[in-house]
Amino acid sequence: MIPIEPVSLSFGAALLLGLSFGAGPCTIACLPYLGPVFTSCDQGRGSTWRTLVPFSLGRVSGYTLLAAAAGWVGLWVEDLVAGPWVRWLLGGATVLVALSILLRRRPDRCASAFQTSQTVKLTSKPGAGVGTIERSSLPGGLYLMGLGMALNPCAPLTTLILAAATSASLITGAFLGAGFALGAVLLPTLVFAFGVAHLGRQIRLHLARHRIALENTSIGLLLMIGCATALGWITP
């Protein structure tokens, strides 16, 4: 058996490793999963961040917990994330988001079955009583999607796991994971907040007459991507 050389990383080095990963491969990998979400929903500034925050929190949680576990139990974690359950998690979360978008459009058809959060918005007009109630079940699915993205094996993540395992400390591992997570999440979040979300709004604006068809296409893409990921046909 080939011996594994120990890897040592500081918080700053982990942050730079995350930034280099987030600057390219990460953004490209996230696009097929988040792109249809931005295209299918009306994304104002508030809605954009309501989409990005739970997804990014899922990724930060995943990287931090994974590195902490590696620091605690060692390289066994690397074999764990190589298992099929990671793609099942990501694929299932993607399907859940697609169903959430579908059920949010039809709040009167058993939406509570998949609802993981609820947002109530009241609008009042002179002489009017209660306004509209908007229900959203996206955050839970988006968090799990981000968590699944974070657990997918890749070269930078392997380096992080090796460094955390070398430290033999849960706290140090979590510290390195948090640094990597901040770097990996920062640039993709900015790209999606100011680039992809704007593109999605423009698409919906110019194709307003085809709104239903656009939403159905986005939901269909998410369902196909989710199933293909769960089956191992697509690797982020």
DSSP assignment of 137-190 equals -HHHHHHHHHHHHHTS--HHHHHHHHHHHHHT-HHHHHHHHHHHHHHHHHHHHH
Kindly state the helix (H) or strand (E) to which residue 215 belongs, with its residue range.
helix 211-231
Contact 145, 94 (CB under 8 A): yes
Q: Is the pTM of this model over 0.85?
A: no
Longest pairwise C-alpha distance within the chain: 78
Per-residue pLDDT of the chain (236 residues; tens, 9 = 90+): 334 455 678 899 999 999 999 888 888 888 888 888 877 766 566 778 888 899 999 999 999 999 999 999 887 887 777 788 888 999 999 999 888 888 876 544 433 333 444 443 434 444 444 333 344 457 788 999 999 989 888 888 888 999 999 888 999 999 999 999 999 999 888 888 888 777 777 777 777 777 788 788 888 999 999 999 999 888 87
Domain borders along the chain are 11-122+131-231
What dihedral do alpha carbons 75, 87, 187, 31 form, nearest 10°? 160
